[in-house]
Amino acid sequence: MADILLGTSGWDYPEWVGSVYPKRGAEDKLRYYAGRFPIVEVNSTFYHLPSVAVAASWVRRTPSRFRFAAKFPQSITHERELVGAEEELRQFLAVLRPVREAGKFAAALLQLPPSLKFVPGTVRSFYESLPADLPVAVEFREPSWLAPESFDLLREFHLAYVIVDEPHLPIQLETTAPFAYVRWHGHGSNVWYDYTYSADELAAWVPRVREVAEKAPTVYGFFNNHFRGDAAANCASLTELLGLSPPSWRSRLD
């Protein structure tokens, strides 16, 4: 069975105070979060790159076996649309360096814009620009990316297809890399991730995750439905349904 690490997309949400975090005693939310989940997806890097010093502080504030994933900046995916983004990629890699050097890096998430169609030549050129030793997961947001040639490129460059639960694309349990990557967005009517997964919906994911775990030695999964702290609650529930052990370094705060 694969090593399955489940977490949430982001950790610093004000509305989590009182539900995920106690009203007192959790000034360092990342440290507190890392006592309950083994991995987190950094989504703030999509909007604004932190300094290298901030990334280094993530390393210091988390246990040695804790892991980080991080989203590519929107300047690469949404503004430049994968073309001419060499400088932006260099800056992103510089921020990741402390996490990678500490052995705490899981993968970089390339979340594509829903307006971007699959153009094989453009995609190949961008994939070729990525460091060969950088684990990358690619999230399709537009149907043309589901073409066989697109999956072939993922396999050629050892990039992971992001298995998504969202309103517009089907759930496809494809594995194209040495690791698998799953994201649960939700099915909110106005905002996808303004959503609470039901017990039945989470139970339906147990055989899916297990199927993926039979194909890849490592599975990373993240809940993005952060409203009200639902991501943390749903993640904890799925962790329990899968029979996964809590982090070995988990504190006794419970």
User: How confident is the model over 83-136, as pLDDT tens digits?
Assistant: 999 999 999 999 999 999 999 999 999 999 999 999 999 999 999 999 999 999
73: Cβ contacts below 8 Å, ≥ 6 apart: 45, 46, 47, 49, 88, 91, 92
pLDDT score recorded for residue 189: 87
Pick the more confident residue, 26 or 162.
Answer: 162
CA-based R_g, the chain, Å: 17
pLDDT band, residue 254 (cuts 50/70/90): very low
Look at domain 3-241 and name its CATH class: alpha beta
Report if pTM > 0.85. yes
pLDDT score recorded for residue 1: 63
pLDDT tens readout for residues 42-80: 999 999 999 999 999 999 999 999 999 999 999 999 999
Distance CA 122, CA 6 (A): 32
Domain positions in the chain are 3-241
Please determine, for residue 250, whether its predicted confidence score (pLDDT) is greater than 80: no
